[in-house]
Structure 1
Amino acid sequence: MISCPFPGSFCINGITLMKLTIYAIIAGEDDLETISIIFEVFRLYGHNMSCDAFDRFRGEDSRFKETLARDVRGMLQLFQVAHLGTPSEDIMDEALSFTRNHLESLDGHNASSAIAPHLFKHIQNALYIPRYGNIEVLVAREYISYYEQDESHNEIILKFAKLNFNFCQFLCIQEIETLTRWWKDLDLASKLPHIRDRVVECHFMSLGAYFEQQYSLGRIIVAKITMIVVVVDDTYDAYFYEKVTHHVTLSIYRDNYKVVMEEFMNTHGHVPRQILLRCLSFARIFDVFYKEGDGYSDPKGKIERYMNSLYVHPIPLSG
């Protein structure tokens, strides 16, 4: 028995009990989708499951086996979890490139006809904005539509998912009403005619950090702060505007996401995990808003459809 690098973890010859548990779970498992899901679950809960688990899917040339392309669901799951890599994990970058190339080859070729339409749509959505570049509520909304069309879906789980989403939607509408009253009471629009009215967009951004239902107050506070920042930003833009600003912002986000992900799995306690979780969640809003230019300043197209799906259209419970 020696000292363990992870406080509170039991070690045998320097190997933590958690690592031994992971090894036992994946031993003999050769299904790509299953391994990817296990990897995702452990990483999301802050356990640094080694990406060496994917070595079993690489050939003698250290490249991912081309035969994996036949497993479309497995490729899609690997594509999603490849975004949970850290700066030093080159294999995750290789997995991302490998899966993206093969999944994109399905997009626009006759091969897509061999895939169920709802799965093909799910792949298209993932390629446009991956799960971990999207915000949780949008991921949930899209997945409910996908799951409903899957032949293996469970009716009870599906109905509860719909009810839960519709309740969240109702709660969000109440929060927007609170924010609208507060904004009108401030009456800044009459004093600063150059500022934008972005109540709904600011609430939408707050969902990036606090998507859980119980954090209603957190969403309202974040939305209010964001609205004040917008006032300052609009005042600044009235005098100076640089078109590349949002591209620079997006680049910084992408460069640092892996670093935050690495710290998220660091159990030394440098930064509380709940704080890092909010950072990871809030950061994902940048990909949503700036995927196609400045979606915040001009929320038409995709952003408008996102907000309609979250705030306007409830999910029918049947049919």
Structure 2
Amino acid sequence: MSLGCISPLVSTMVGQKLPLRKPCIQHKPFTKVYRARRSVAQVPINMALIKDAEGITRRIGNHHPNLWDDDFLQSLSKSYDDPSYGGRAEKLIKEIKDMFNALHLNSSSADDLYQRLSMVDDVERLGIDRHFQNEIKENLDYVYRYWNDTHGIGCGRESSCVDLNTTALGFRILRLHRYGVSSGMLQQFKSKDGQIFYLDNQSNEEELRTILNLFRASLIAFPKEQALDDAKSFSIAYLKQDLPNINNTNISKEIEFNLEYRWHTNVPRLEARTYIDIYGDTTTTNNIFNSKLLELAKLDFNMIQSIQHRELQILSRWWTESGLAKLEFARHRHVEYYFWAAGVCIEPKYSTFRIGFAKMSSFVTCLDDIYDTYGTLDELKIFTEAIKRWDLASMEGLPEFMKLTFKAFDEGVRDMAQEAEKSQGRDTLDYARKAWEVYIDAYFQEAKWLAMGYIPSLEEYLENGKVSSGSRVVTLQPVLSLDVPISNDVLKEIDYPSRFNELLCLTLRLRGDTKTFKAEADRGEVVSCITCYMKDHPGSTEEDALEYLNYFIDEKLKELNWEYLKIDNVPITAKDHAYALSKGLQLLYKERDGFSVSSIETKNLIMKTMIEPVPM
């Protein structure tokens, strides 16, 4: 049975708009007033006014400079390129495959289902699952033969009773691999009052692991799955309450990580780096299988990191040669954008995807800073029209920073189209350009709103914001560069106007706004989903708006889960990478705008996953 067989579960939700107001919110009197217009005397807190060489007064955002000096990047080691490491990794891969294949001979019928699921979970969390795709499928096919949508499963194929831990773990992994599993079986684990999940004769450690697996399962929810909503509320409260009293530091570290970096902010490289430490501290690594897994995970992590160092050096040289480094008013975040792509795309062969994504994202940021702060409205009108002609000659009379930006941008889009042609066997340049033109129009619309002091309705804002978020344009060409042919018909199911693409763009815009609206208001950019909501609901406060919008995001992420995991004719690789990029964005906006302010959490994440190797 495919995942597509359970469509009735969400048929009433998919494709429908949620109401623009959560009924439970009680509106309060205004606590803050936003000014729509700002004169020169009302300079926003985090914005400065400067005069350029022509005497034009311009706004700048006072962003911190590039954190990653080219000399530093060029000095990064690639020591794990040595063939001896690759040879050792291949030997370990073969040995682990042999152990996987021996499972059917050695596993007991009392716990074979749990054992197989645990092995799959370990290789995925350690970031080495790409080496064992056949073994993973074989083991999940085995587990799925014993799955029961009403009762779940026990620890083993001959278990006389179901087990919450094995069922929760199995549900999560099977659903993520697009097997048709329903969350309804969780109802049987509730107590008679329907409030808590039933745990039978478990030790404290077993109980904690059970609730942790229940929590992880609850995050892979589709719309209107009340059982998963209940499981999420219960498990969060349970784990947070017990966390201070846990003696086993490895379990506490695992719980802390999963509570902080939930499914939609947990990217593969961060999870692998974290789980390597947790896995290495457990006593189970005395087991020869687990010891080999750990050694391979460390080797693989460092070998991939060597590839990332080489790609960072290529990207840094491009950044300097493109001229974009000369744009002092713009955010220089090419390394942060590479981290975004590299955190979710590990395959060595997808270098073009990672570097291309970093380039496209850098163009978006430079254009964003031109439209939001540095450019004048008259300049932006000409600039927009010139970009849509794709002709540098049309830039005549515009400032040099606009000409420089367009030249680098035009060359980058052309280069990515050439890379895409190698995979797609057709010219996709016109298709990509049309996507960029729609995006530029959306930017110009926001610039006009700012100049007019106009705050649109939330619906009007989000309709434009889905485009101006930039999600589509930074993802489109890199996805086309993957070694997966995508016909125009299939492309429409992951690109505009697909529901999948719409949800990716919408959740990016919403998450970004909820984390950046105060900083943007301080720079004079007063239009956001927060202010639009408050305009729609007079008397509401920022807190009301945030409460509603966070609820709205959660609901849309459930719908995105469905669009991502349902069975259709879109190549899984293309969908996987587009969806994974949305998780990377959620991570980078987890605490704040991790691009504008990349000197705190983002820098630490880059150091941990891309710069510092794992001790062997």
User: Deviation at 1:131?
Assistant: 3.9
Map of 1:104-119 to 2, 5 A cutoff? 104-107=240-243, 109=244, 111-112=245-246, 115-119=247-251
CA separation of 1:6 and 1:238: change in aligned 2, threshold 3 A: closer
Distance 1:315 1:151, change over 3 A: same
Separation in 1 of the partners of 2:168 and 2:579? Answer: 20
Q: 2:559 corresponds to which residue?
A: 259
Alpha-carbon distance in structure 2 between the residues aligned to 1:7 and 1:304: 41
Contact 1:209 1:279 in 2 (8 A): no
- Gaps of at least 5 residues in structure 1 are 9-17
Alpha-carbon distance in 2 for matches of 1:263, 1:173 = 34
1:246 aligns with 2:513: yes
What does residue range 61-76 of structure 1 map to in structure 2 within 5 Å?
A: 61-65=193-197, 67=199, 70=204, 71-76=207-212
The equivalent residue for 1:197 is: 332
Q: Shift in Å at residue 47 of structure 1?
A: 1.5
Gaps in structure 2 of 5+ consecutive residues: 6-142, 155-159, 375-446, 456-509, 515-528, 531-548
Contact between 2:298 and 2:614, CA under 8 Å: does it hold in 1? yes
- The 2-side partners of 1:21 and 1:263 are apart by 26
Aligned length: 299
Q: Which has the higher contact order (CA 8 A, sep 6+)?
A: 2
Query: Offset of 1:139 from its aligned partner?
Result: 0.7
The question of whether the paired residues in 2 share the 8 Å contact of 1:85 and 1:92 is answered with yes
Match among 128, 141, 153 for residue 26 of structure 1:
153
AA in 2 matched with 1:26: I
Q: In the TM superposition, what is the alpha-carbon distance from 1:64 to its structure 2 partner?
A: 2.7
CA shift digits 1:202-225 (9 cap, x unpaired): 101113552333322211111111
Shift in CA distance, 44/65, structure 1 to aligned 2, threshold 3 Å: closer
Task: Say if 1:87 and 1:230 are closer, same or farther in 2 by CA, change over 3 A.
Answer: same
| Corresponding letter in the other structure for 1:57 | F
Give the 3 Å change call, closer, same or farther, for CA 105–298 of structure 1 in structure 2. Answer: same
**Are 2:268 and 1:136 equivalent residues in the alignment?**
yes
Deviation, structure 1 residue 172? 0.8
Shift in Å, 1:261: 1.3
Aligned amino acid, residue 302 of structure 2: N
Find the aligned partners of 2:296 and 2:144 in 1 and give their Cα distance.
35
Provide the residue aligned with 1:290 in structure 2.
589
Letter paired with 2:332: D
1:169–1:311 Cα contact (<8 Å) kept? yes
How big is the alpha-carbon RMSD for the aligned residues of Structure 1 and Structure 2?
3.0
Q: Deviations over 1:22-77 (max 9, x none)?
A: 22982645332211221122111112311123223112222333647940011111
SS in structure 2 at match of 1:168: helix
Distance 2:319 2:218 in 1: 41
CA displacement, residues 66-112 of structure 1 (integer Å, 9 cap, x when unaligned): 647940011111111211010121111111110001111123x4x22
Within 5 A, what are the aligned runs for 1:177-196?
Answer: 177-190=313-326, 192-196=327-331
Query: Does the alignment pair 1:40 with 2:165?
Result: no
Question: Residue deviations 1:132-160, cap 9 Å, x none?
Answer: 42111101111111100111122211111
Q: 1:99 to 1:143 in 2, by over 3 A?
A: same
Equivalent residue, structure 2, for 1:206:
341
Aligned to 1:50: 182
Question: Quick one: distance in 2 between partners of 1:301 and 1:7?
Answer: 42
Question: Who is 2:607 aligned against?
Answer: 308
Match of 1:14 in 2: none
Letter of the structure 2 residue corresponding to residue 23 of structure 1: N
CA distance in 1, matches of 2:358, 2:179: 32
Percent identity over the alignment is: 27
Q: 1:94 aligns with which of 230, 251, 255?
A: 230
One-letter amino acid of the counterpart of residue 41, structure 1:
I
Contact 1:203 1:219 in 2 (8 A): yes
Cα distance in 2 for partners of 1:162, 1:311 equals: 13
Offset of residue 124 of structure 1: 1.2
CA contact (8 A) 1:30 1:56 kept: no
Partner amino acid for 2:584? I
Question: What are the equivalent positions in structure 2 for 1:211-230 lying under 5 Å apart?
Answer: 211-230=346-365
- The letter for the 2-side match of 1:60 is K
Contact 2:250/2:282 (<8 A) preserved? yes
The superposition leaves residues 1-25 of structure 1 with CA deviations (integer Å, 9 ceiling, x where unpaired) of: xxx98899xxxxxxxxx97652298
Query: Deviation per CA, 1:276-306, whole angstroms, max 9, x where unpaired?
Result: 3223211111221111111211113322211
> Aligned letter for 2:208?
V
| In structure 2, distance between residues paired with 1:220 and 1:207 | 9
TM-aligned CA distance change 1:82 to 1:160, over 3 Å? same
Q: Is the 8 A contact 2:215 2:231 kept in 1?
A: yes
In the aligned structure 2, how far is the partner of 1:7 from the partner of 1:246?
33
Query: Aligned pair in 2 of structure 1 residues 6, 43: CA closer, same or farther (>3 Å)?
Result: closer
Q: Paired residue for 2:576?
A: 277
Secondary structure of 2:224's partner? coil
Q: Does 1:84 align with 2:220?
A: yes
Out of 147, 158, 175, which is 2:279 matched to? 147
Amino acid at match of 2:168: S
Residues 254, 206 of structure 1: CA spacing in aligned structure 2 closer, same or farther, 3 A cutoff? farther
Decide whether aligned partners of structure 1 residues 302 and 314 sit closer, same or farther in structure 2, where only a CA change above 3 A counts: same
Change beyond 3 A, Cα 1:131–1:213: farther
Amino acid corresponding to residue 357 of structure 2 in structure 1: V
Shift of 1:165: 0.3
Is the CA contact 2:2–2:180 (under 8 Å) kept in the aligned structure 1?
no
Are the equivalent residues in 1 in contact too, given 2:183–2:227 (CA < 8 A)? yes
- Bigger Cα displacement from structure 2, 76-85 vs 25-34: 25-34
In the superposition, relative to structure 1, how do residues 7 and 61 fare at CA in structure 2: closer, same or farther (>3 Å)? closer
- Compute the TM-score of the two structures, normalised by the length of structure 2: 0.45
- Letter of the aligned partner of 2:595 in structure 1? Y
